[in-house]
Amino acid sequence: MMIIAAGWEMSSMTQNAALVAMVQTALSLPFFFFVIPGGIITDLVNHRRLLIIMQTSMLLAVAVIAWCSWTGRLTPWVLLGLLTFVGIGTAVHQPAWKTLLQDLVTREQSASAVALNSLNFNIGRAIGPFLGGMLAGIGGAASVFACKSLSYVSVIGALWPIPNERMPQPKTGVTASSVISSIGEGFSFLKTSPILRGILLRYGLFILPASGMMALLPLEARRELGSGVFGYGALMSFLGVGELLGALGVGAVIGSLFIPGLKQRFSIDSVVMVTLVCFSLCILGVSQGNSMLLDDLFLIVGGAAWSVMTVTHQVAVQFCSPDWVRGRTTSFYMLTLEGATAIGSLTFGWIAQLTTIRESIMLCAVVSMLGILLIRRFPLTDDSSEE
């Protein structure tokens, strides 16, 4: 809901395509600086307490955005600044949230837990944009921001009852020496794990054009399709519906392709290759479509492919990471995801400013297809270690 309100509010305040795309950049750029410290803190403190603190900080930031929008004090740079603060909270929050999944399930349940988390997220991605567009059309962007701030309360309420006994007990407190040591350990593991480096490289190349396309959807709706905020909300909703459909049942299927002895006829990389081709063709379709219906259909299929790509790469990171460094490898994954999102949004927004919206989205499709070249060179699993 929030990105719908923020993107549409920005496109109402300015016609600069780069500034509109920077809405997504503002939420993602803080990951460059805060996600690795967030992963380190995750490995050193109680996960539940850290999550409650971060949820509270983001609640306050979004509440300020709602107040500024309601009182007419919101400007492009004020919005970007406050969204950056939300991005900082998210950067620290995400490694702990993803690690919490592993705290609550067994290794065999890991893929299903990741898929279930993706399913819950994508339910919000499917319903949220539609509700956000409808709410923004009726009560303005301020009402959407206010509802978003209240949503943090529900997450805090869900985290509060989790007993501390379910959380791994940190071996040391957060000190300067322990942080420096943890940074060194994390990067040493990354340096000695070619599988992890390959996973991150492949996922980063996928997210660059995917985020660029999504960042341009407000302008696609407003300029190319002549639609209002409801149309933009519909585009984002259909993308979310596709991701929701992709998440349904994908955990068991993907898990069977990772666990030794359970691999089926098709390898995980074969599935990823077909998925990547499908996703790239859908982006190309969006760049060529001339109607809301066609764009919606392409985004449903593309969203399903996006969901499969997310689950496969996230589970691959979990499977190649031992327990003692999982928080830090998760932070590397989030750094790749959000860093590529920030760069992709800004880059393709800038390209759209120099050319056209449709040409920039078409280039997104071309870059996405290039990911096929990395599949054979950087497999998601180490088959030699499983024989």
Domain of residue 28, CATH code: 1.20.1250.20
Q: Kindly tell me if the per-residue pLDDT of 98 is higher than 80.
A: no
As a whole number, the mean pLDDT across the chain is 80
CB neighbour burial string for 40-79, b if at least 16 within 10 angstroms, e if fewer: bbbbbbebbebbbebbebbbebbbbbbebbbeeebebeeb
Question: Which token pair is 36?
Answer: 């690795």
The stretch 115-144 carries a mean pLDDT of 71
Q: What percent of the chain has pLDDT over 70?
A: 80
Residue 26 has pLDDT above 90, yes or no: no
Lowest-confidence range among 16-20, 174-178, 258-262, 273-277? 258-262
d(CA 6, CA 116): 27
- Work out the pLDDT band at 259, boundaries 50, 70, 90: very low
Residue 334 lies in a domain: yes
pLDDT at 121 over 50: yes
Q: Which two tokens stand for residue 41?
A: 């803190």
d(CA 314, CA 330): 8
Number of folded domains that form the chain: 1
Enter the pTM of the model: 0.71
Q: In 3D, which of 261, 302, 250, 276 has the Cα closest to residue 375?
A: 276
Residue 261 confidence (pLDDT) above 60: no
> Per residue in 304-343, pLDDT tens?
899 889 888 888 888 888 877 877 788 788 888 878 988 9
Task: For residue 156, tell me if it sits in a domain.
Answer: yes
| CB 202, CB 371: distance < 8 Å | yes
69 within a domain of the structure (yes/no): yes
Residue at 348 is within a domain: yes
Q: Is 211 exposed, middle or buried (0-12, 13-18, 19+ CB in 10 A)?
A: buried
In the DSSP assignment, the letter for residue 225 is: S
CA dist 339 to 35, 178, 200, Å? 10, 26, 11
Distance (Å, rounded) from C-alpha 248 to C-alpha 241?
A: 11
Question: How does pLDDT run across 287-296, given as a tens digit for each residue?
Answer: 987 788 899 8
Question: Is residue 175 included in any domain, yes or no?
Answer: no
CB atoms within 10 A of CB 336: 23
Range of the domain at 52: 2-166+180-386
pLDDT digits (tens, 9 = 90+) for 349-387: 999 989 999 999 999 999 999 999 999 899 887 654 444
CA distance 362 to 285: 8
